[in-house]
Amino acid sequence: MKVLVINCGSSSLKYQLVNPESGEVFAKGLCERIGIEGSKLEYEVVAKDFEKKLEVPMPTHKEALELVISHLTDKEIGVIASVNEVDAIGHRVVHGGEEFAKSVLLNEEVLKAIEANNDLAPLHNPANLMGIRTCMELMPGKKNVGVFDTAFHQTMPAEAFMYALPYEDYKELKVRKYGFHGTSHLFVSETMREIMGNPAHSKIIVCHLGNGASISAVKDGKSIDTSMGLTPLQGLMMGTRCGDIDPAAVLFVKNKRNLTDEEMDARMNKKSGILGLFGKSSDCRDLEMAATAGDERAVLAEKVFIYKIKSYIGAYAAAMGGVDAICFTGGIGENSANVREKTLEGLEFLGVELDKEINSVRKKGNVKLSTENSKVLVYKIPTNEELVIARDTYKLAK
Ligand code: ADP
């Protein structure tokens, strides 16, 4: 079985050809700057350590996908003889609203229902839908499956997902917390549960820390709360997103600075977070280097970043009545020993004891970072959203 996993952004297309049973990745890559000058394709054959990059015009996602297919089926550098070998196609869809609590086989009716959520994710959902329609056009007859970023969090109870706005804003406008990064929180918490021996009861906190960052409370395998909200702007401080602020600050800054709605939106989504406080970069590596060198704003940005994560860990331990395991994932969570150590500093009262030596050594795969005496397990677990998409696709399409 071979599943093609597609993650379409407004100007990008990420792809992986995966065996959903073994997890083997045959080929993967990325098309960037679609519809913009300087479009680029990256193509990698994992088993052969073969990598190719080329710049070639891709006016639309159709040309991008054609290029991906021609590489996958190329006589010399391809991994399949023809698209007949692709058994099904799995798509990442960002917003499933309240309709989709699970992955779903895609047809015209389902696409319309996804389209109805476009308002809730105007940057992401239309791009995801375009990817789906392009695949249906270029590879007719294949089963396509939609896997939603929001689905895993649909188990949140009302007290976690409701905002205390007038009730009609929920009923009529669907304004509530949805949560994102669901496939990652699912993958990491399930991996953690397996490591724990699949106990009937478990209280797991997953810290997904990348450019986008979110944290979730997973009780007995179900998400009961998560930090992102109606959109991926709520919650932790991120690379360029502000995360939680007083909602009144939005109107205050907008009015004082005479900004349009779009400018204010961009200020919060693209100019805030690490970039906003540090001022020089949104990248955590740059931040850490500058903080080590004594840059005051870098030190401040790092402190705020860590404080937010720590506060959520405290909140979620309280929400679950304790915590058995804390997992770190995402580019920062998997790679930054500094962020992990500083986040867990002072959490000894919860029963957390980090093995600082193991934490500071770079090791691939799932790594236990807590000491033998620690009451709370601490793990680094590399996320694998594509594998979740491939597995769900396989289950629904076979
Ligand atoms: P995205 O949300 O775009 O998928 P990633 O999960 O790839 O983001 O994470 C990107 C972040 O990971 C960047 O801020 C980058 O600086 C950080 N990162 C990657 N490697 C390291 C490292 N060795 N130390 C600290 N941060 C790292």
- Say what the alpha-carbon torsion angle 248, 263, 30, 395 is, to the nearest 10 degrees: 40
Q: What is the pLDDT of residue 308?
A: 98
Cβ distance 224 to 212 under 8 Å?
A: no
> Which atom of ligand 1 is closest in space to residue 212's alpha carbon?
2
pLDDT cut 70: percent of the chain above it: 100
- pLDDT per residue over 80-123, tens digit each? 999 999 999 999 999 999 999 999 999 999 999 999 988 888 88
- Domains in the chain, CATH or no CATH each: 3-148 (3.30.420.40), 197-380 (3.30.420.40)
Q: What is the pLDDT of residue 129?
A: 94
Q: What is the pLDDT of residue 167?
A: 98
The single-letter code of the amino acid at 204 is I
Q: What is the pLDDT of residue 69?
A: 97
Query: Nearest CA to 312 among 377, 390, 217, 219?
Result: 217
Cβ distance 97 to 178 under 8 Å?
A: yes
The single-letter code of the amino acid at 17 is L
Instruction: Please tell me the distance from the alpha carbon of residue 398 to that of residue 391, in angstroms, as a whole number.
Output: 11
- pLDDT per residue over 131-183, tens digit each? 999 999 999 999 999 999 999 999 999 999 999 999 999 999 999 999 999 99
Instruction: Please tell me the distance from the alpha carbon of residue 368 to that of residue 351, in angstroms, as a whole number.
Output: 15
> Which atom of ligand 1 is closest in space to residue 213's alpha carbon?
2
Would you say residue 398 has pLDDT above 90? no
The stretch 318-334 carries a mean pLDDT of 98
- pLDDT per residue over 214-267, tens digit each? 999 999 999 999 999 999 999 999 999 999 999 999 999 999 999 999 999 999
- pLDDT per residue over 329-372, tens digit each? 999 999 999 999 999 999 999 999 999 999 999 999 999 999 99
Contacts of 216 (CB under 8 A, 6+ apart): 153, 179, 181, 185, 189, 205, 206, 208, 223, 225, 226, 227, 316
- What secondary structure does DSSP assign to 188-256, as a single string? HHHHHHHHTT--S--EEEEEEESSSEEEEEEETTEEEEES--SSTTSSS--SS---S--HHHHHHHHHH
Do the bridges between strand 143-148 and strand 3-8 make them parallel or antiparallel, or are there none, so unpaired?
unpaired
Q: What is the pLDDT of residue 82?
A: 96
Q: Which residues pair with 350 in a beta bridge?
A: none
Pocket of ligand 1 (CB under 6 A): 210-212, 239, 283-285, 288, 330-332, 335-336
Residue nearest to atom 24 of ligand 1 (CA): 336
- Burial bucket for residue 38 (CB in 10 Å: 0-12, 13-18, 19+): exposed
Neighbour count for residue 161 (Cβ, 10 Å)? 21
Grade residue 379 by pLDDT with cuts at 50, 70 and 90: very high
Map residue 118 onto helix, strand or coil.
helix
CA distances from 249 to 134, 231, 303, 369 (A): 41, 17, 21, 39
Would you say residue 207 has pLDDT above 90? yes
CA atoms 21, 378, 304, 291: torsion sign: negative
Cβ distance 343 to 376 under 8 Å?
A: no
Q: What is the pLDDT of residue 184?
A: 97
In eight-state DSSP terms, residue 86 is -
Q: Tell me how far the alpha carbon of residue 332 lies from the centroid of ligand 1, in angstroms.
A: 4
Q: Tell me how far the alpha carbon of residue 374 lies from the centroid of ligand 1, in angstroms.
A: 27
Map residue 287 onto helix, strand or coil.
helix
Pocket test for ligand 1, best of 149, 206, 228, 285 (most atoms within 8 A of CB): 285
